[in-house]
């Protein structure tokens, strides 16, 4: 049984703006019967350019219906430019959270919105598809879509990508390709201190302000430590920095891991010493 929020259940049992607009100004359609979920979003624009009337139809599970309902509430009264800024995370937040495995429902909402805006501007009624080459043939997901969803949601593992856009969730044959895309994205993120001379970094760290130091510690944890932990179902959170004491908490699988002390000492300290300052001491906050 899924752990749905009360808001989500309310939007499933009492969906807002369900139905059809005859001859709408814009219509966007994503998904298919075969894929197991689909969404058609329709809206009209008022004279002042805001979305005045919006309706949706959804074939799908509880969270797909609720995500579509949330989307319509989010875009109502907004201009196209404002609506364009809406991400799948906005839908997730509106619903008070989505189970990880249901994140693709929120991404489907964002895609339908884009398709509808595209339809309004170009008159295109083609099913909305991003550029790129199909990586997941089961669900027809391209490399560009995977990159985008990974970047927008800061995804680190193949499993996360599957949760957010279904890619890799069918036969599983493309999971290696997705892993490669993720690694490529990791390489593309600038590694600001990696290739600088060790001494300059440490000199720099001595002259850093507290805020700069904390930011660099956070950045090092995000880029150098978290991906490996997340791959094993764990995570690390920066709690505080008091002078040279870096206080962190282990999350998820790592929190109960027998070897987490070893992980802390060996990995976190080494990375912080390498990238920030060798004077840092790592302490774990036990909850």
Partner 1 sequence: MKNVYLDNNATTRMADEVLNEMMPFLTERYGNPSSMHTFGGENRHNVDRARQQVADLLGCYADEIIFTGCGTESDNTAIRGIAHLDNKKRHIITTRVEHPAVRTTCRQLQREGFRLTELSVDEKGRLNLDELRQALTDDTALVTVMFANNESGVIFPLEQIAEIVKEHGAILHTDAVQVVGKIPVNLSRLPVDLLSFSGHKLHGPKGVGVLYVRRGTSLLPLLLGGHQEFGKRGGTENVAGIVGLGKACELAGAHLDEESERVGKLRDRLEQGIIKNCPDVKINGDVTARLPNTTNIGFEYIEGEAILLMLDRLGIAASSGSACTSGSLEPSHVLRAMGIPFTSVHGATRFSLSRYNTQEEIDYVIREIPAVIKRLRELSMFTPKDASPQAPYERKPEIALSPGLGERES
Residue positions annotated with a catalytic role: 35, 105
Of 163-192, binders to partner 1 (CB under 8 A) are: 166, 169-173
Q: Distance between CA atoms of 150 and 165, rounded to whole angstroms?
A: 9
Q: Which two tokens stand for residue 126?
A: 């083609």
Cα-Cα-Cα-Cα torsion 196, 202, 206, 207, nearest 10 degrees, comes to -20
Please tell me whether residue 232 binds partner 1 under the rule CB under 8 A.
no
| Pair 277, 206: CB distance under 8 Å | yes
Q: Which of 17, 58, 67, 223 binds partner 1 (CB under 8 A)?
A: 58
Question: For partner 1, how many residues bind (rule: CB under 8 A)?
Answer: 36
Backbone phi, psi, residue 237, to 5°: -125, 135
Please tell me whether residue 134 binds partner 1 under the rule CB under 8 A.
no
Q: Which of 14, 36, 200, 232 binds partner 1 (CB under 8 A)?
A: 36
Q: Which of 7, 50, 52, 57 binds partner 1 (CB under 8 A)?
A: 57
Please tell me whether residue 137 binds partner 1 under the rule CB under 8 A.
yes
Piece in contact with partner 1 (CB under 8 A), picked from 5-13, 89-97, 192-200, 211-219:
5-13
Q: Which is nearer to partner 1, 10 or 82 (CB)?
A: 10
| Pair 247, 227: CB distance under 8 Å | no
Please tell me whether residue 55 binds partner 1 under the rule CB under 8 A.
no
Please tell me whether residue 145 binds partner 1 under the rule CB under 8 A.
no
Site string for partner 1, 94-133 (x = CB under 8 A): -------xx-x-----------------------------
Please tell me whether residue 17 binds partner 1 under the rule CB under 8 A.
no
Q: Distance between CA atoms of 275 and 221, rounded to whole angstroms?
A: 10
Q: Which of 28, 29, 224, 226 binds partner 1 (CB under 8 A)?
A: 29
**How many CA atoms, within 13 angstroms, populate the side-chain half-sphere of residue 276?**
29
Please tell me whether residue 157 binds partner 1 under the rule CB under 8 A.
no
Please tell me whether residue 238 binds partner 1 under the rule CB under 8 A.
no
Measuring CA to CA, which residue among 62, 152, 53 is closest to residue 111? Answer: 152
Please tell me whether residue 6 binds partner 1 under the rule CB under 8 A.
no
Binding site for partner 1 (CB under 8 A): 2, 9, 12-13, 15, 18, 29, 33-34, 36-40, 57-65, 101-102, 104, 137-139, 162, 166, 169-173
């Amino acid at each position: 049984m899924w752990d749905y929020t009360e808001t989500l259940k309310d939007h499933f049992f009492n969906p807002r703006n369900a139905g059809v607009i005859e001859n709408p100004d814009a219509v966007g359609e994503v998904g298919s019967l075969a894929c197991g979920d689909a969404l058609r979003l329709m809206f009209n624009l008022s004279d002042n350019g805001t979305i005045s009337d919006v309706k949706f139809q959804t074939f799908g599970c509880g969270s797909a219906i609720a995500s579509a309902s949330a989307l319509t509430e989010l875009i109502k009264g907004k201009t196209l430019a404002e609506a364009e800024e809406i991400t799948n995370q906005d839908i997730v937040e509106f619903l008070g959270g989505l189970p990880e495995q249901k994140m693709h429902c929120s991404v489907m909402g964002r895609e339908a919105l884009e398709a509808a805006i595209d339809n309004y501007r170009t008159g295109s009624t083609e099913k909305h598809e991003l550029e790129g080459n199909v990586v997941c043939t089961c669900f027809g997901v391209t490399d560009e879509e995977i990159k985008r969803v990974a970047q927008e949601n800061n995804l680190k593992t193949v499993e996360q990508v599957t949760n957010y856009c279904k890619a890799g969730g069918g036969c599983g044959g493309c999971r290696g390709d997705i892993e490669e895309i993720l690694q490529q994205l990791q390489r593309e993120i600038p590694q600001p201190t990696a290739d600088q001379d060790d001494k300059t970094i440490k000199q720099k760290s001595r002259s850093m302000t507290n805020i700069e130091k904390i930011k660099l510690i956070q950045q090092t944890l995000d880029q150098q430590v978290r991906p490996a932990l997340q791959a094993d179902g764990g995570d690390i959170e920066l709690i505080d920095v008091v002078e040279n004491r870096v206080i962190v908490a282990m999350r998820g699988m790592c929190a109960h891991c027998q070897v987490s002390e070893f992980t802390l000492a060996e990995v976190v300290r080494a990375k912080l010493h390498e990238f920030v300052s060798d004077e840092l001491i790592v302490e774990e906050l036990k909850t």
